[in-house]
Structure 1
């Protein structure tokens, strides 16, 4: 790329100049690192120093191009140094193949073609225009083999003598034994060496092309082994033997999957355990082939044959957080040798029904999210609207993420791996319609637990500050009984319909083990950013959440936010005075409550199951009554001293260290264990911190 192209490439289009200030700042830094050369003939809108040399009082400082060089350089010798460095870089960056071509051209120019026959003793390479010769050679180098063959054949055909007899002046004609060839380049008769050099071919290649011209005419040459089987290729018996081995191995070790693969729609998929890879099975095949006298094959051939003949047999990938029920069925089928045929069919039937239920629940979730997305596009509702003001159905989902620790650095030192830095709990509430998820970041000193009351408190805060004011809410969460699937969450939903915050609320859960949904996607996007980030305070942790999505789809929410503070309430004792527990709660996946029937909950096992009506109302709650706010537990003395002594040394900022791991105000009290105590470390008395 030329200097002019570089300058034009860094020009910001007008339509983008005011919409992305971060991008403009990055381009400004690039301009500082790579300033434009002053001797370029490029017209700039605002040159650094440009004027007519005739109008200058000091013409010695002005170059022929009208630039004042002193504005760029303090010493003119720097230009020569830059040119030398640039030339050295060009020499260093030349590829070996390019250097070899330059050597060939230089040798041919100096040594010439060695021909003295056609131009009064002058070599052909000195008669032709050498620059045109090199340009023609480079164009031939860019051609494919087929294109170059056709060009050479056409030129050979124009000056090739292949008649049956040879005519001679004053002599009798005689039978032609071989064809006679004349070579021309740019209208001049040349020798064979120059003709080969110009077309980037060797003399042997020229002979093969001439032979092909006599045999098949002006068509591309075809290799003699084309469309012929290799003598080392597998026979039908060899491929059949590999297929038989893979099939028998799958019969003994694979698990049938109640589904299909996209490329194998008509066969039952067999999943092999992930403890053995293809290379391990290939080694087993070669051992078996050696014992039985069959042909051994390489790994690539074995893999390709497997893909061609047995695509329905595949190796499962190692995974975590799997469905316990699916693994239970898989293990039972792996021990199918101990089962009767009826037991096998019954297990397969139950396995298939389980997969169908999971797929049905997933389809129900997708339908609700698609409706919310379309609603958001059509109405564009405002976040934080007053409750129960918009007569629409809107979908939310929430879940906990794995906690993170801070201080966190992308280049983490080794010793901190064996310590426990300060913890940050993460809870996310996603509105699938807008595609935004709010991340609740709870410091360990602010965490009142991860149970139902904390989940209900954060859901209450979200619907108050981030809800769109819908009258009908649809909520999805996982099957965690201690957090979501419990009476406290159901009571809270009924309570909202009774005091007028919603008209209807539908609570839904995916099948246990098949609960990956929108919040997990947002958590994954954030974790990608988190691995490459540095964060030493809760504010910086919130910054990583905000920066993880350029479209502002991840929104951080701190507990002590001055504008939207989060309060944790004692919901369970407050709600149990108004509602009764739902019996056999764990078997249901859908709950529905409405203000039309106060205190009534409709329960369904699956989305297409029959409803069960349950009345859980004891008494109607007061409209303005709220539960008691919980106090933050804070950090005990042992944890404060641990953070100060063990974690404080890993901070890069003293200010962040003073905020996160300050020196405790509580004195460090030590007690000595009695000598008759059973707890000893290395034969010495152990000092314990009194907490």
Structure 2
């Protein structure tokens, strides 16, 4: 009864202390793992004090005090009536010897309880953390150390393992376990060959000479003869493995025994016919799609290189192979095997990398560095310095573009931006970029017939105007009969149409475009930007260009997404081309805009002659890559060579333009009659839809 009162009191007291001082209420109510651990600690604590109460017969005063606690009217369920201060007062009543005796008894009882639950739990955790292989190895070492080899042949009653030393055996065993199987076999065979007798007769003495029935083997370790069991333990092998190595040594000597399947063709290997089919389909695909490259590859110097277009990679070609192989019931290999066979059988066929519009300066620098054998160290250092400086300039120009795009996206993510808003109605800065794509020809079919490659179908020019803030690009599709040319008037008219119908009303516009003098970098574009500022359509406009050859930017990404859809589509009229643009982006980032759209038609104006009446021409325009005009300085064009260069101001204003006054309409001549007859005779037969043929390639009214 005394122990039960003591346990109850200590359990409740510890619970009070833990809840009031360290354990949060939520943790004690919801964390089941923590409560289980706390119950285990409580149980261990009670077990220790029960053993203490049973073993301590001399501490009568200590027991009597707790008897008093039991007999008094104390509500043990009331947490406020018991605290650790009361318990400390009980212990303070005893002298130092009694307390020391209590501590010693508790410690001794804890040590003597070797199979206690806490020790068992810790052992279980340790065993769970050890691998089975390590447990088995530890068991082998423990058994051998405890039982030894138990032989008494060589050293009387002493086992040979005790003579050579168990520590030496363990060290050698550990080193052998670090070796590979082939290395270990060589080590064991080298030990066997020194004391192995495999002659025809058992003795050289003629009188006692007998025919040898089996080889004789002695085992040594550090100059001491040992038994087979100790030898196997020292070299970390089993007796069956030792027997196999001994037999291999008798048959093949010190050479490592190899598996029977080594250097033999496995049953699942590709046959000659399977390999031939893979090579044939690669060559047939190359004959249809590849172009010969007048260069050489390092791994095939004597063969003409065939360069495949980059619209399909090796995985796409593998899909074609897998489809045809399944249809013909041939064996299908994995993609990895297909790649390996391609590299070994057809190394002269390669897929081109999508690298276009390369920088001329970079290619010259790379060419000089590749053929630098004739250059001195100083010349080589100068070339490398110039190349590094050029790349750093290009990177700074690129970083400016990235920063402006990020700022524009941040504005659109926090501001309600709507297309077609009134000019200067949004106090923000947005970024735009434009570029021309490579023109496409129609009629176009995914399964294109061969003769049309030698003809010139009808052309469709594509101009992209991208708003990076919203991620939307408008594709202006211009038929060759509607195209006034890729000069300043065409680009300015398309940009004016975009800002008039799809502008978001920002006050400040930042624009990037290609560094093409005829299309973008001309006085017409500069005069149009200053005209927009002077007429109140913008408060400021900045124009920026990247270095030539480093001009890949957002419009090219949108063009690439569209071209993927274009290669897989059929298009015989402008409506079909517009559908491919719309279908290329599921999220609506690519939007087509036809020039002759009845709701928003594009009108080409004579901007060049119109702007020459109000602005002067800028000299040395190709020298600068950054231009800016603001309403604070009307008619002044601020120019910079690079993004970190000093600003230079030019006053180009002749006369202030009137708001709302536009240029005259540009007259676009019709198609030449020879071109019309060519489309009718050469291109019309390739149409599938007769209605589209009559619209795109009608019979000319002018005689041939």
The TM-score with structure 2 as length reference comes to: 0.51
Q: CA deviation at 1:281?
A: 8.9
- Could you tell me which residue of structure 2 aligns to residue 542 of structure 1? 578
- Could you tell me which residue of structure 2 aligns to residue 606 of structure 1? 642
Q: Deviations over 1:411-451 (max 9, x none)?
A: 11111111111100011011111111100000000000011
Confirm or deny: 8 A CA contact 1:444 1:634 kept in the other structure: no
Q: Secondary structure at the match of 1:343?
A: helix
- Could you tell me which residue of structure 2 aligns to residue 617 of structure 1? 653
- Could you tell me which residue of structure 2 aligns to residue 506 of structure 1? 542
Q: Deviations over 1:387-408 (max 9, x none)?
A: 1110100000000000000111
Residue of 459, 476, 496 corresponding to 1:423 = 459
Q: CA RMSD, aligned part only?
A: 3.4
Residue of 393, 397, 422 corresponding to 1:386 = 422
Structure 2 unaligned regions, length at least 5? 1-130, 136-148, 151-231, 239-243, 246-254, 259-292, 304-335, 341-351
* 1:435-446 correspondence runs (5 A): 435-446=471-482
- Could you tell me which residue of structure 2 aligns to residue 408 of structure 1? 444
Q: Pick closer, same or farther for the CA change 1:402–1:317 going to 2, 3 Å.
A: closer
Q: Secondary structure at the match of 1:337?
A: coil
Alpha-carbon distance in structure 2 between the residues aligned to 1:349 and 1:572: 42
- Larger helix proportion, structure 1 or 2? 2
The question of 1:324 aligning with 2:346 is answered: no
Alpha-carbon distance in structure 2 between the residues aligned to 1:432 and 1:450: 23
Q: Pick closer, same or farther for the CA change 1:443–1:317 going to 2, 3 Å.
A: closer
Alpha-carbon distance in structure 1 between the residues aligned to 2:564 and 2:357: 19
- Could you tell me which residue of structure 2 aligns to residue 486 of structure 1? 522
- Could you tell me which residue of structure 2 aligns to residue 18 of structure 1? none
- Could you tell me which residue of structure 2 aligns to residue 567 of structure 1? 603
- Could you tell me which residue of structure 1 aligns to residue 531 of structure 2? 495
- Could you tell me which residue of structure 1 aligns to residue 387 of structure 2? 351
Q: Secondary structure at the match of 2:693?
A: helix
- Could you tell me which residue of structure 2 aligns to residue 532 of structure 1? 568
Alpha-carbon distance in structure 2 between the residues aligned to 1:358 and 1:317: 22
Alpha-carbon distance in structure 2 between the residues aligned to 1:623 and 1:342: 60
Runs of 4+ displaced beyond 6 Å? 229-232
The question of 1:633 aligning with 2:669 is answered: yes
Q: CA deviation at 1:317?
A: 6.1
Q: CA deviation at 1:513?
A: 0.4
Aligned residues: 386
- Could you tell me which residue of structure 1 aligns to residue 299 of structure 2? 279
Q: Secondary structure at the match of 2:637?
A: strand
Q: CA deviation at 1:575?
A: 0.2
Alpha-carbon distance in structure 2 between the residues aligned to 1:319 and 1:385: 39
Q: Secondary structure at the match of 1:430?
A: strand
Q: CA deviation at 1:539?
A: 0.8
Q: CA deviation at 1:343?
A: 2.0
Q: CA deviation at 1:607?
A: 0.7
Q: Secondary structure at the match of 2:498?
A: helix
Residue of 483, 490, 495 corresponding to 1:454 = 490
Residue of 552, 572, 582 corresponding to 2:618 = 582
Confirm or deny: 8 A CA contact 1:398 1:476 kept in the other structure: yes
Residue of 472, 480, 483 corresponding to 2:508 = 472
* 1:138-217 correspondence runs (5 A): none
The question of 1:654 aligning with 2:703 is answered: no
Confirm or deny: 8 A CA contact 1:505 1:593 kept in the other structure: yes
The question of 1:597 aligning with 2:633 is answered: yes
Q: CA deviation at 1:632?
A: 2.8
Q: Secondary structure at the match of 2:681?
A: helix
Q: CA deviation at 1:278?
A: 5.4
Confirm or deny: 8 A CA contact 1:542 1:557 kept in the other structure: yes
Alpha-carbon distance in structure 1 between the residues aligned to 2:549 and 2:413: 32
Confirm or deny: 8 A CA contact 1:274 1:317 kept in the other structure: no
Q: CA deviation at 1:332?
A: 2.6
Q: CA deviation at 1:667?
A: 1.9
The TM-score with structure 1 as length reference comes to: 0.52
Alpha-carbon distance in structure 2 between the residues aligned to 1:645 and 1:410: 22
Q: CA deviation at 1:339?
A: 2.7
Alpha-carbon distance in structure 2 between the residues aligned to 1:544 and 1:343: 53
The question of 1:521 aligning with 2:552 is answered: no
- Could you tell me which residue of structure 1 aligns to residue 248 of structure 2? none
Q: CA deviation at 1:341?
A: 2.3
* 1:219-258 correspondence runs (5 A): none
Alpha-carbon distance in structure 1 between the residues aligned to 2:694 and 2:297: 51
Alpha-carbon distance in structure 1 between the residues aligned to 2:635 and 2:691: 53
- Could you tell me which residue of structure 2 aligns to residue 80 of structure 1? none
Q: Secondary structure at the match of 1:497?
A: helix
Q: CA deviation at 1:631?
A: 2.4
Q: CA deviation at 1:276?
A: 5.2
Q: CA deviation at 1:340?
A: 2.8
Residue of 593, 598, 603 corresponding to 1:557 = 593
- Could you tell me which residue of structure 1 aligns to residue 397 of structure 2? 361
Greater Rg over alpha carbons, structure: 2
Q: Secondary structure at the match of 1:593?
A: strand
Q: CA deviation at 1:625?
A: 1.3
